[in-house]
Amino acid sequence: MNKVPKKLKNNKIAVFTVFAYVIVFIYSPSLGLSSLKNTSSYILEMLQILPAVFILMGLVEVWVSRETIMRIFGKEAGLKGKFASVLIGSFSAGPIYAAFPVCYTLLKKGSSVSNIVIILSAWAVVKMPMLIVEAQFMGISFMTLRYLFTVPAIIMIGIVTGRLVTSENIMKTSKKEGLLAEKILRALPGYSCGACGFRSCRITAEHIAQGEVDPDICGPLEEEDLKRIYGILEGG
């Protein structure tokens, strides 16, 4: 059933990373050890920051309506949406990778691609904490001029990207996984017994669709249905 190749295919980045570390350790053990320490510190930082980000995503998902997001950040928001996006990115906190799950949630709720690009860009280069430090070391004049040149550039990049990329292009992968999960769910027994470690068959189906667990994690699954799920995963 090609379990191992499928696992490798679904975790290409992780496999490549491990392979790269092995090469570095062979070439220079000290450099490999240093790289591993740096990676550990980044992972620890992410574990400290991402829980708060996921809580924020949940609050936006539940408390902020789609209509509100579309009114402020949608395609029809015009320049108001562009400047609102600059402000959101500018007053953000945390490293840039924390912005991606937040922006993904905004995109699902109706934000335009151009405004998502502006938020990400402002988060990366014109955050207020960064500007304060920049003014301290480089001077207020330098900081002000850079800000005045950077913001229009960010808005232009957002407008151009919004014309070249649609939200449908970005969400396509998620939609495919959703359809795949639905097909897998219909093949599962539907007991939601929790024996697999997940509280419902739907969650199990989503994890199977994403390649995070094998279909045989479901104990009550009949052999015929197991083969059916592998056929679904292989596109049959």
pLDDT digits (tens, 9 = 90+) for 103-140: 888 887 888 999 999 999 999 998 888 888 899 999 99
Domain membership flag for residue 4? no
Query: What pLDDT is recorded for position 123?
Result: 92
Residue 106 CB: number of other CB atoms within 10 A? Answer: 24
The rounded Cα 19 to chain-centroid distance in angstroms is 24
Domain membership flag for residue 37? yes
Domain membership flag for residue 58? no
Query: What pLDDT is recorded for position 127?
Result: 86
Are residues 114 and 84 part of one domain?
yes
Are residues 198 and 158 part of one domain?
no
CATH of the domain at 227: 1.10.15.40
In 3D space, the residue among 80, 90, 87 whose CA is nearest the CA of residue 112 turns out to be 80
Q: Check whether 174 has a pLDDT greater than 70.
A: no
In 3D space, the residue among 178, 208, 202, 206 whose CA is nearest the CA of residue 190 turns out to be 202
Q: Determine what percent of the chain is predicted with pLDDT higher than 90.
A: 22
Residue 186 CB: number of other CB atoms within 10 A? Answer: 14
What would the pLDDT profile of 54-80 be if each residue is shown by its tens digit?
A: 887 778 777 888 888 888 998 888 889
Please state the rounded mean pLDDT for residues 80-102. 88
Query: What pLDDT is recorded for position 144?
Result: 93
Are residues 131 and 43 part of one domain?
no
Domain membership flag for residue 59? no
**Number of domains, the chain:** 3
SS3 content of the chain, % helix, strand, coil (to 5): 80, 0, 20
Query: What pLDDT is recorded for position 16?
Result: 85
CA 138 vs CA 122, 127, 130, 133, 141: distances in Å: 19, 16, 11, 8, 8
Least confident range of 1-10, 98-107, 209-218: 1-10
Query: What pLDDT is recorded for position 1?
Result: 46
Q: Which domain holds residue 92?
A: 64-165
